[in-house]
Amino acid sequence: MIKEPRIASRIQALVLMGGAITSGNVTPSAEFNIYSDPHAAHVVFTSGIPLTMISLDITHQVLTTPERLRAIRTLGTPVSEVAADILVQYGSRERHRFDGIGNPLHDPCVIAYLLKPTLFTASPFYVEVELDGEATLGRTIVDTAYLSDRQPNVNVVQTVDAEGVYRLLLDRLAGL
């Protein structure tokens, strides 16, 4: 977008998994995807492209519990077995944050949103990416109180139907 600004006008919408409203997963305040390149994230967040942000606050509600893994394995197909094996590892570094209940499902929430947006609710907020703070570099600052005089620039997902996300996953895996 910096080298070719005209690209932004050709993007109808962008749904991203990134950022956090509360706390991060790579630093106490920053989420991995935004922290990895906060300056690029800043360009995207200020681009004017219609953005939908699915933050850690949401993905941490979509846990791969033992019951959900069993349901996937019960499908009994080679694809469902591979998916279950992947889900055992996916997000396992964060399992301790959830009392061992299960691993969070991060990036697949974007696909679930694209396939069935009714599983999610979102509200418009002004969001900016912290570029200067030593302890806060990469943090997404979401003005949920509308204290900024800036217009909302991001549709921030507020709720998720976690059971619905896993039903969608099961339905899709059953068809393979």
Q: Which residues are catalytically annotated?
A: 106
Question: Cβ distance 95 to 156 under 8 Å?
Answer: no
CA distances from 83 to 9, 15, 129, 176 (A): 36, 23, 33, 11
The β-bridge relationship of strands 103-104 and 63-64 is antiparallel
Question: Cβ distance 104 to 93 under 8 Å?
Answer: no
- What's phi and psi for 81, nearest 5 deg? -65, -45
Q: How far apart are CA 153 and CA 144, in angstroms?
A: 12
Written as one letter, the residue type at 144 is T
Tokens found for residue 142: 């979401």
In the chain, what's the furthest Cα-to-Cα distance?
Answer: 54
127: β partners: 142
